[in-house]
Structure 1
Amino acid sequence: MAENAASPPLDRLSARLRSRATKLSPKLRKAAALFDENRGDVLELSALKIGGLIGVSDATVVRAARALGFSGLTELKKAIAGTLGAAPTHVRNLQRALASVDQDVDGAIDLVLDHEAQLIANLAEGDARRAIPVAVDLLHKAQRVVVFGTGTSGLIAAYAVRMLARHGKPVLLLDATGFDLAEQMLTLREGDAVLMLFFGRAYPEVEVLMEEARNRGLPMVVVTESAEKPILKAASAVLEIRRSGPDGAPLHGATLVCLEAIIMGVAAMEQQASLDSLERLQLLRARIVQRRTSGRRARRDS
């Protein structure tokens, strides 16, 4: 029966995995599993980057695509893109992740903990680890750190702003979209450095902020899942953070760990300012407690 407009797109990758997986060598099978389990990420990465994630060469990645019946990685990516059109990627990934544990709470917990441990281990080595001191130096030298993030990344950006402020670093949060972001950007000034959380494809807010930072000569530190995005050529430092959890569902633990490492690094370079700020915070908290206590006492006595 011919497919109609409501039919789900043909999943050629899954079909070929079912028919050919047992015939693949261990290395090719490892690459094929990554194609299937991390589809959204595969669309963004080169053969070299994909190979680096699983410890094989880029040539092995291409051979795996061909062993599955595709002409190469480009055709495989087109097949993956077709399957992702049926529903938002995060919905499909979550469905697959939940199906893999089938209402087993302990299994779900262990699945996340195991993935988070691996993502953090990846952060502790290679290019990402080497980029953290570069990011720390750029933010330390800045008079103010401007942190950008929208959606879920906006919540993480707000946390980073709060922690930097606790350590005495002047900060500005950019977490709006559309015209509201334009208003937030009005106070960008010389001496700022931009810390950007940017995952997925480029969107207008990211493009305009990067253009504005570039025009003003502001250093940009970008935390993202792929350092190979063309738009990142203007960035001063790129920290590549993997977020792929069970069956591609995004996990944010490694992103938080990366930011906390950066914040601690900045505090280490600005120890006196950080200690002074934290001491002032404690004094302010004590004054609030004292005022609350005296207010309750006054109400009892009245």
Structure 2
Amino acid sequence: MKETFTGGGGPRGAAAPSGPLTPTAAPAPAPAALTAKVRALAPTMTRSMQRVAETVAADPAGCAALTVTGLAARTGTSEATVVRTARVLGYPGYRDLRLALAALAAQQAAGRAPAVTADIAVDDPIADVVAKLAQEEQQCLADTAAALDPVQLDAAVAALVAARRVDAYGIAASGLVGQDLVQKLLRIGLIAHAHTDPHLAVTNAVQLRPGDVAIAITHSGRTIDVIEPLRTAFDQGATTVAITGHPEAEVAQYADLVLTTSTARESELRPAAMSSRTSQLLVVDCLFVGVAQRTYATAAPALSASYQALAHRHDPRPGH
């Protein structure tokens, strides 16, 4: 994946930058983002590093009280493994991870970072299903908000504002999210297309050029039908954006900007597509609102006109 850049739509400058492009170091994740970070990166870690990561996410208060030697002993690993895990999670060293764990423990104690709820059981009453799903959705949104890099998000908004054309690629549930983004952008006057057919996605991506934006939406980051058109758009010089729960996955190799979503727990009655859709829609809404803010002079009347054009279809009176 490329470096993070401010002031525009990526290192190739496909979107008109407002100032010089300068690489920025990624900040350490906020305490509330730690759980989401562990979920996203655990598949890429060694087993010993996974033990460390899962332990600190499950018991931040207990681990915050441990020295690096103590955590290594608790997880049956080495001090070097603990330090490597901290760095993979985005912290300069174990001391920084320990401070984040203490902050996360304080948030949980104050009720601002609730613990993960139990899985839905086959015999759960419907009231319990509602409560568990609501808690999971809230946690998913909170994790995504914490994991989103505001620098990357701001650059993506800037690229969309300057775009000649926007293409969104997604399959299945992610395709629905792409359609949601496109219909929002269309209503404020942008030229946008959503592609769920992989062949049409690639043939349209070939037509892109610098000044266009291509957005790939894939929770796993490994969906070939989404990666191929993004790679094509990348090769054509368009600014490319990936919305994914796995920023280390292949899709990021062809993305100028990566917007990370929550990687929520998957269970038999709650497949990944449910939680990923929730977090992806939050990112889409952030992009839309950001674009609408920056283009308010044209976006507001365009949105009003679209409402007026459809008003008669919402009139309940007969004949209207």
Give the CA deviation at 1:284: 2.1
- Residues 45 and 129 (structure 1), Cα distance of their counterparts in 2 relative to 1, 3 Å cut: farther
Number of the residue aligned with 1:91: none
Give the CA deviation at 1:186: 4.8
Number of the residue aligned with 1:254: 279
1:146-196, Cα deviation, whole Å (9 max, x unpaired): 11111110011111111111121110112112x343344354344210121
Number of the residue aligned with 2:155: 134
Counterpart CA distance in 1 for 2:72 and 2:260 is 22
Counterpart CA distance in 1 for 2:248 and 2:71 is 17
Counterpart CA distance in 1 for 2:248 and 2:211 is 27
Does 1:176 find its partner at 2:176? Answer: no
Number of the residue aligned with 1:273: 298
Q: Quick one: which amino acid aligns to residue 130 of structure 2?
A: I
- Residues 246 and 230 (structure 1), Cα distance of their counterparts in 2 relative to 1, 3 Å cut: closer
Give the CA deviation at 1:205: 2.3
1:63-96, Cα deviation, whole Å (9 max, x unpaired): 77647xxx999xxxxxxxxxxxxxxxxxxxxxx9
Q: Quick one: which amino acid aligns to residue 102 of structure 1?
A: D
User: What is the SS of the residue equivalent to 1:162?
Assistant: helix
Bigger radius of gyration, 1 or 2?
1
Counterpart CA distance in 2 for 1:211 and 1:233 is 8
| Stretches of structure 1 lacking an aligned partner (at least 5 in a row) | 1-33, 74-95, 298-302
Counterpart CA distance in 2 for 1:225 and 1:152 is 14
Number of the residue aligned with 2:289: 264
Number of the residue aligned with 2:310: 285
Give the CA deviation at 1:226: 1.6
Out of 104-113 and 262-271, give the one that drifted further. 104-113
Q: Is the 8 A contact 2:169 2:216 kept in 1?
A: yes
Counterpart CA distance in 1 for 2:313 and 2:143 is 43
One of 95, 120, 127 as aligned partner of 1:106? 127
Q: Is the 8 A contact 1:45 1:226 kept in 2?
A: no
Number of the residue aligned with 2:241: 221
User: What is the SS of the residue equivalent to 2:168?
Assistant: strand
Counterpart CA distance in 2 for 1:275 and 1:130 is 25
Q: Quick one: which amino acid aligns to residue 277 of structure 1?
A: A
Q: Is the 8 A contact 1:115 1:246 kept in 2?
A: no
User: What is the SS of the residue equivalent to 1:238?
Assistant: strand
Q: How do 1:14-163 residues align onto structure 2 when only pairs under 5 Å count?
A: 42-44=42-44, 47=49, 50=53, 66=76, 97-99=119-121, 102-163=123-184
Q: Is the 8 A contact 1:146 1:194 kept in 2?
A: yes
- Residues 181 and 62 (structure 1), Cα distance of their counterparts in 2 relative to 1, 3 Å cut: farther
Q: Quick one: which amino acid aligns to residue 43 of structure 1?
A: P
- Give the number of equivalent residue pairs: 231
- Residues 275 and 53 (structure 1), Cα distance of their counterparts in 2 relative to 1, 3 Å cut: farther
- With the length of structure 2 as denominator, give the TM-score of the two structures: 0.60
Q: Is the 8 A contact 1:116 1:245 kept in 2?
A: no
One of 219, 234, 238 as aligned partner of 1:199? 219
Identity %: 18
- Residues 151 and 275 (structure 1), Cα distance of their counterparts in 2 relative to 1, 3 Å cut: same
Give the CA deviation at 1:139: 1.5
Q: Quick one: which amino acid aligns to residue 207 of structure 1?
A: I
User: What is the SS of the residue equivalent to 1:172?
Assistant: strand
1:211-257, Cα deviation, whole Å (9 max, x unpaired): 21221111111110121224413311111111414647321222211
Counterpart CA distance in 2 for 1:134 and 1:286 is 35
* Greater helix content: 1
- With the length of structure 1 as denominator, give the TM-score of the two structures: 0.63
Q: Quick one: which amino acid aligns to residue 297 of structure 2?
A: Q
CA RMSD of aligned residues (A): 3.9
Q: Is the 8 A contact 2:242 2:251 kept in 1?
A: no
